[in-house]
């Protein structure tokens, strides 16, 4: 297997640690990848995103299975489908706890805070019979990620895209912060939907 450049390993480590530190992942949840031409670098199946080592980053083909596929994340098919169907160069899948709570209730998550309403606007919540690494997800997620930078899989977590892993992380973190604010308003006995900014009501 070809050695992965140190700068790439450090980028994965930085984003993985930041996602873990922010509570976007538990000890072994989530996955992330970057596209390099017709190849994909993706985290290993069962790896700890907050404590990645070089061997936790696996190289696979974008279009065809090869020797790396047996080690790659169980969501590798979804990542490859997103790359084939969008202009994304990086993907982060995070188990955003508060956003997952909202996904069980709402068909879309609409931030009510200023930053969230600017960064993520509306986040579709997509429901699947098999909500982890399924062929249905491979077919549906790329269609939505052509128009949105981040989507939620109901009861599971977020998939965000960007030109870099850091950008993808930003969308996940922004959504999770917005979700905390929505739940905070609800805990005070208020309807969060009353606080949707006017700019998003017709968006």
pTM of the model: 0.93
- Structural domains of the chain, count: 1
Q: Find the mean pLDDT for residues 64-82.
A: 88
Cα dihedral 53, 153, 18, 184, rounded to 10, equals: -150
100/154 Cα distance (integer angstroms):
7
* Percent of residues, the chain, with pLDDT higher than 90: 80
In a domain, 1, yes or no: no
pLDDT digits (tens, 9 = 90+) for 127-170: 998 767 689 999 999 999 999 999 999 999 999 999 999 999 99
Query: What residue has token string 């031409």?
Result: 37
DSSP letter, residue 95: -
Segments forming the whole domain that contains residue 32: 6-201
Q: Please check the confidence at residue 203 and state whether its pLDDT lies above 60.
A: no
Q: Any idea what the CATH number is for the domain that residue 25 is in?
A: 3.40.225.10
In a domain, 117, yes or no: yes
């Amino acid at each position: 297997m070809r050695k992965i450049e140190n700068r790439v390993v450090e980028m994965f480590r930085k984003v993985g640690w930041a996602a873990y530190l922010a509570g976007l992942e538990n000890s072994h949840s989530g996955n992330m990848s970057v596209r390099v031409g017709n190849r994909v670098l993706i985290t290993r199946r069962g790896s700890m995103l907050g404590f990645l080592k070089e061997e936790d980053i696996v190289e696979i083909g974008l279009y065809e299975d090869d020797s790396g596929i047996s080690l790659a994340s169980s969501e590798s098919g979804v990542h490859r489908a997103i790359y084939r169907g969008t202009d994304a160069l990086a993907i982060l899948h995070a188990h955003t706890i508060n956003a997952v709570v909202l996904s069980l209730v709402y068909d879309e998550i609409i931030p009510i805070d200023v930053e969230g309403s600017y960064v993520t606007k509306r986040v579709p919540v997509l429901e699947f019979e098999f909500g982890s690494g399924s062929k249905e997800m491979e077919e549906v997620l790329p269609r939505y990620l052509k128009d949105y930078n981040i989507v939620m899989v109901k009861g599971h977590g977020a998939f965000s895209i960007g030109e870099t892993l850091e950008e993808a992380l930003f969308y996940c973190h922004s959504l999770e912060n917005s979700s905390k604010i929505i739940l905070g308003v609800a805990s005070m006995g208020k309807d969060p939907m009353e606080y949707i900014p006017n700019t998003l009501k017709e968006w």
